[in-house]
Structure 1
Amino acid sequence: MTAVDSALAARVAVANLASAARSRRRVPAGPLVGLLHEEPVEYLSYVTAARPGVPVPTEAVPGALRVLRAAFAVEGRRPRAELVDEANPGLVAAVRAAGFAEDDRFPLLVLDPADLGVPAVPPGVEVAQVGTLDEARRAKKISDAAFGLPGSAAKPPGDPYDGGAVVALLGGVPVATAEWTAIAGGVTEIAGVATVAEHRRQGLGSVVTAHAVLAAARAGADLCWLTAADDAASRVYQRIGFRRAATAVHLTDATA
């Protein structure tokens, strides 16, 4: 991990915090911050670094987590943490030492939209930006099913700067989708990349990812990032221009 990549990791983490905080209640706790979402869906609320890119006094982590455990308990939530390892070296180890168990590590990849290689759209497929509430519902149904998530209400599309989605349509029927999050500091996350089961392994994931990048760039993003499920998925994204820059680490409170 080079100094340049460490700075890039911090930029991603800073932007992700700013973007996530738009739709969550912040609970400050020293070097950490809790982000509590109004929806009682476990993965939507989590703990992260309050100041990415700034050295963390690790001795302050246990006390900060006591504050956050109490805040999450009031809401009936089990504390989780989402950290960019290289943005705050030593923080992951400190959180583990304070009673959190590491769930997984994911490659974090970044892309300057100028470096995007747009794959060919398969014959018969059309890619469109989601523009209505009905289209948003249909896209969300695909991603919820792909990730085994409980269905929740889709939101009507708004200003693309605040995020959006694209869909791949086959015969007018949505078969794949990808979204970008609210842009902060020129940075957005490409997320929710999903394909209907019977249409997988046809390159549609790469297609919708690329078109989500294009839409985000039109809205003002100059850096896109995503987390890949594993190294195999990482290689798929690398083929359209993404490169690995850091590691995202997810942890759950083992004392709860």
Structure 2
Amino acid sequence: MDVVRADVLDRLERFYDAVPRDAARAEEYGPLVLFVRDGDGWPFYARPRRDATEPPSLADVTAVRARQRELGLPEAFEWVHEVTPDLLAVARSAGLSVLEAPLMVLDPANLPDPATLSDVPVRVLDPAAPGFPADVAVRRAVAAVGFANGGTTRGDAGPADRDAAIARLDVAALEEEAVRIGDGRRISVLAEAPEQGALASGMAMRVDDVAEIAGVATLPAARRRGLGAAVTATLAHRLRAAGTDLVFLSAGSEEIARVYLRVGFRRVGTACIAEPAAVLV
């Protein structure tokens, strides 16, 4: 592994470890750490400890899964394969399904103008705007519909499904996102058409000079219009303008990764997400 790539992966490890710590307590199980949220909100995951000297064993994974079940948490693990390569085989031997997602970082020199990617404008959510709480709910509703209908293929789900999804959203998660946007740790955006409203959305989480773009989703009825690329480029531009030095994301598939290549991202590794086979689809 070259020095530059090793430095990037080390910075990503610091980011992954830092993100949950202001909202969760850390429980250590050998070389694994389980982040347990105090109170309501989106549950976190287990991942390798940054200071671990040995790779996680089957017994370590089994112990964490037992604790997750005890707490009523998803049995979820996340790691970067190039940093902890032995965990892939261990997770599979434990009966977990592993998504191997392309891990990509932004090359700022290749970041396009969002206006060249789609004819639908993208708006950054403003916490001072009167409609801000509703905007946050719409952002998450678009993501809920988009991820429930994965991939890039067009489908029937559209604005009506988005509006119906709002009533099913986790209120604590909405409140947390609003707080994070207000204090600058998160940026959320909506791609909106005049008559149909929000068709795509995305967000970014920031810790110091590193940020992850996540939750980029498009309503199936609005796909193949460049909306995901425009949302991603808008977030990347805003992050760079705020002084973010390293911008990265994980693509859900090789097909989705091709969208991000258009926006100036290049692959540096593989982000692994493991869950029980009956859960991961």
TM-score w.r.t. structure 2 length? 0.77
Q: In structure 1, what is the equivalent of residue 133 of structure 2?
A: 133
**Mapping of residues 77-88 of structure 1, within 5 Å:** 77-88=73-84
Letter of the structure 2 residue corresponding to residue 137 of structure 1: A
Q: In structure 1, what is the equivalent of residue 199 of structure 2?
A: 175
Is there any run of 5+ residues in structure 1 with no aligned partner, and where?
Answer: none
Letter of the structure 1 residue corresponding to residue 240 of structure 2: A
Post-superposition Cα deviations, 1:165-205, rounded to whole Å, max 9, x if no partner, equal 01111116211111001x22411111111112221100011
Q: In structure 2, what is the equivalent of residue 105 of structure 1?
A: 100
Q: In structure 2, what is the equivalent of residue 65 of structure 1?
A: 61
Shift of 1:78: 4.2
SS in 2 for 1:82: strand
* Whole-Å separation in 2 of the counterparts to 1:19 and 1:115: 27
Q: Do structure 1's residue 151 and structure 2's residue 169 form an aligned pair?
A: yes
Is there any run of 5+ residues in structure 2 with no aligned partner, and where?
Answer: 127-131, 149-164
| Backbone CA RMSD of aligned residues | 2.5
* Whole-Å separation in 2 of the counterparts to 1:160 and 1:115: 29
* Whole-Å separation in 1 of the counterparts to 2:183 and 2:224: 29
Shift of 1:121: 5.3
Shift of 1:39: 4.2
Residues 196 and 102 (structure 1), Cα distance of their counterparts in 2 relative to 1, 3 Å cut = closer
Given that residues 55 and 88 in structure 1 are in contact (C-alpha distance below 8 angstroms), is that contact kept between their aligned partners in structure 2? no
Letter of the structure 1 residue corresponding to residue 70 of structure 2: V
SS in 2 for 1:147: helix
Q: In structure 1, what is the equivalent of residue 86 of structure 2?
A: 90
SS in 1 for 2:8: helix
Letter of the structure 1 residue corresponding to residue 255 of structure 2: A
* Whole-Å separation in 2 of the counterparts to 1:245 and 1:160: 30
Residues 179 and 12 (structure 1), Cα distance of their counterparts in 2 relative to 1, 3 Å cut = same
Shift of 1:162: 1.0
* Whole-Å separation in 1 of the counterparts to 2:276 and 2:192: 41
TM-score w.r.t. structure 1 length? 0.84
Q: In structure 2, what is the equivalent of residue 161 of structure 1?
A: 184
Shift of 1:19: 1.2
Q: In structure 2, what is the equivalent of residue 117 of structure 1?
A: 112
Q: Which moved more, 1:140-149 or 1:230-239?
A: 140-149
Q: Do structure 1's residue 240 and structure 2's residue 260 form an aligned pair?
A: no
SS in 2 for 1:26: strand
Shift of 1:50: 1.1
Residues 22 and 115 (structure 1), Cα distance of their counterparts in 2 relative to 1, 3 Å cut = farther
Percent identity of paired positions between Structure 1 and Structure 2 = 28
* Whole-Å separation in 2 of the counterparts to 1:56 and 1:112: 32
* Whole-Å separation in 1 of the counterparts to 2:194 and 2:99: 38
Aligned residue pair count? 246
Given that residues 138 and 174 in structure 1 are in contact (C-alpha distance below 8 angstroms), is that contact kept between their aligned partners in structure 2? yes
Given that residues 32 and 61 in structure 1 are in contact (C-alpha distance below 8 angstroms), is that contact kept between their aligned partners in structure 2? no
Residues 144 and 87 (structure 1), Cα distance of their counterparts in 2 relative to 1, 3 Å cut = same
Given that residues 27 and 68 in structure 1 are in contact (C-alpha distance below 8 angstroms), is that contact kept between their aligned partners in structure 2? no
Q: In structure 1, what is the equivalent of residue 157 of structure 2?
A: none
